[in-house]
């Protein structure tokens, strides 16, 4: 999908978040190793915790990853048409609880997230990939404000939804449920979508031994990632998972290593109303009367190869 040396321009949009931070680490590692990706901008959105906190976490993560030269902008404080629902129970009050992180060594752009995203799209002489690992508010706002730039978006690789089930409710995954209207705009946009939903992300588990592999790397970045994973692992073990689900990293890994994933093209619609199914990503998996697909949906992966690539990415940081 994204070949070594291609340096394909990418915008990272998320709500760090332990798994957002690890997704960004993997994308940045590509710039130091196979050079498949070239991160042009990062945008923060309210989600796991408030926008102020996700923006501050983004500043600390970019500092840790040596990305202080990449422009970072604050985006939407709340969903397009709803109050923000956050998840401090999962990521802690700060949104990135666990290890002490470096204080920011970069400042926020004076542009809004939509203005920065539009600038990157306008200035790029090739299609830009948006990797969205939080609620889709910023991406939807970009599509609404700049329909003329739509064809400059190569793909939206998002973590969100699930064909078979939800996590925040039985039907809905958190990122989609926080802003279903935004997700509806994105899935109706006609932009190529790569959807890493819970069907794959809950199989992308980091197990105890894998956490120890990261710990054994023994670098400054490795120690922090190990502590993030330990935090995420302990929370998910408590609620019944076998390991730490690497939700957001799938949205990057599926671009870099598509050969380890199983993907099917489906027509996906977003339930924006309803009492029980609000925020559901309703995929048409029927063999007959199948609607024209609007998304490539990631359904499975080779977990061991996924973890090997994760370890490799962390080890790229000296």
Q: Which residues bind ligand RIB (CB under 6 A)?
A: 15, 17, 19-20, 47-48, 133-134, 159, 167, 173-175, 247-248
Q: How far is the CB of 5 from Ca ion (least distance, A)?
A: 29
In the bound state with ligand RIB, the residue whose beta carbon lies nearer, of 17 and 149, is: 17
The window from 9-17, 68-76, 164-172, 189-197 that contacts Ca ion (CB under 5 A) reads: 9-17
Bridge pairing between strands 153-159 and 193-196: parallel
Going by C-alpha positions, the residue among 179, 236, 172 that lies closest to residue 15 is 179
Residues 261/298, Cβ–Cβ less than 8 Å? yes
Mark 72-82 as b/e (b = at least 16 C-beta within 10 Å).
Answer: bbbbbebbbeb
**Rounded least distance, CB 23 to ligand RIB, Å:** 8
Which residues lie below 8 Å from residue 300, measured CB to CB, with a gap of 6+?
A: 199, 200, 203, 261, 262
Helix (H) or strand (E) holding 14: strand 8-14
Nearer Cβ to Ca ion, position 124 or 139?
Answer: 139
Q: Which does 174 bind (CB under 5 to 8 A by kind): Ca ion, ligand RIB, none?
A: ligand RIB
Could you tell me the smallest distance in angstroms from the CB atom of residue 47 to Ca ion?
Answer: 6
Q: How far is the CB of 272 from ligand RIB (least distance, A)?
A: 18
Q: From edge to edge, which strands make up the β-sheet containing 281-284?
A: 72-74, 37-44, 8-14, 128-132, 153-159, 193-196, 295-301, 261-270, 281-284
C-alpha torsion sign, points 247, 132, 134, 197: negative
Closer residue to ligand RIB, CB minimum distance, 173 or 179? 173
Strand partners, 300: 262
Under a CB-based contact definition with an 8 Å cutoff, are residues 258 and 177 in contact? no
Per-residue contact track with Ca ion, 200 to 239, x per CB under 5 A?
Answer: ----------------------------------------
Q: Is 20 in the site for Ca ion (CB under 5 A)?
A: yes
CB of 19 to Ca ion, least distance (A): 6
Burial (CB count within 10 angstroms: exposed 0-12, middle 13-18, buried 19+), residue 3: exposed
Q: What's 50's DSSP letter?
A: -
Instruction: Select the binding partner of residue 173 from Ca ion, ligand RIB, none (C-beta < 5 to 8 A, by kind).
Output: ligand RIB
Report the residue number, 9 or 46, with the smaller CB distance to Ca ion.
Answer: 46
Q: How many C-beta atoms surround the C-beta of residue 68 within 10 A?
A: 14
Subset of residues 126 to 185 that bind Ca ion, contact rule: CB under 5 A: 133-134
54 binds Ca ion per the rule CB under 5 A: no
Nearer Cβ to Ca ion, position 24 or 309?
24
Which range of residues in 20-28, 70-78, 227-235, 281-289 is near Ca ion by CB under 5 A?
20-28
Catalytic residue among 18, 91, 247, 257: 247
Annotation says 247 is catalytic = yes
Q: Which residues bind Ca ion (CB under 5 A)?
A: 15, 17, 20, 133-134, 248
Just list the catalytic residues: 247
């Amino acid at each position: 999908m994204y070949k070594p040396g291609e340096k394909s321009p990418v915008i990272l949009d998320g709500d760090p978040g332990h798994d957002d931070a690890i997704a960004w680490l993997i994308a940045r590692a590509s710039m130091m190793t196979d050079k498949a990706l070239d991160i042009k901008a990062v945008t923060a959105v309210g989600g796991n915790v408030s926008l102020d906190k996700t923006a501050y976490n983004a500043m600390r993560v970019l500092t840790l990853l040596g990305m202080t030269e990449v422009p970072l902008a604050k985006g939407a404080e709340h969903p397009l048409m709803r109050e923000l629902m956050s998840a401090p129970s999962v990521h802690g009050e700060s949104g990135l609880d666990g290890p002490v992180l470096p204080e920011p060594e970069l400042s926020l752009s004076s542009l809004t997230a939509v203005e920065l995203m539009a600038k990157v799209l306008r200035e790029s002489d090739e299609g830009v990939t948006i990797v969205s690992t939080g609620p889709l508010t910023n991406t939807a706002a970009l599509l609404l404000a700049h329909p003329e730039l739509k064809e400059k978006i190569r793909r939206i690789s998002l973590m969100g939804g699930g064909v078979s089930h939800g996590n925040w409710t039985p039907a809905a995954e958190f990122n989609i449920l926080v802003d279903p209207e935004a997700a509806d705009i994105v899935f109706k946009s006609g932009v190529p979508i790569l959807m890493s939903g819970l069907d794959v992300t809950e199989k992308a588990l980091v197990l105890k031994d894998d956490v120890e592999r990261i710990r054994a790397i023994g670098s400054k970045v490795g120690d922090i990632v190990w502590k993030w994973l330990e935090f995420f692992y302990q929370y998910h073990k408590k609620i019944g998972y076998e390991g730490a689900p690497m939700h957001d990293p799938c949205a990057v890994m599926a671009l870099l290593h598509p050969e380890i994933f199983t993907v099917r093209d489906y027509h996906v619609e977003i339930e924006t109303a309803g009492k029980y199914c609000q925020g559901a990503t309703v995929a048409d998996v029927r063999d007959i009367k199948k609607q024209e697909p609007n998304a490539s949906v990631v359904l499975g992966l080779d977990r061991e190869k996924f973890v090997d690539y994760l370890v490799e990415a962390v080890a790229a940081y000296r």
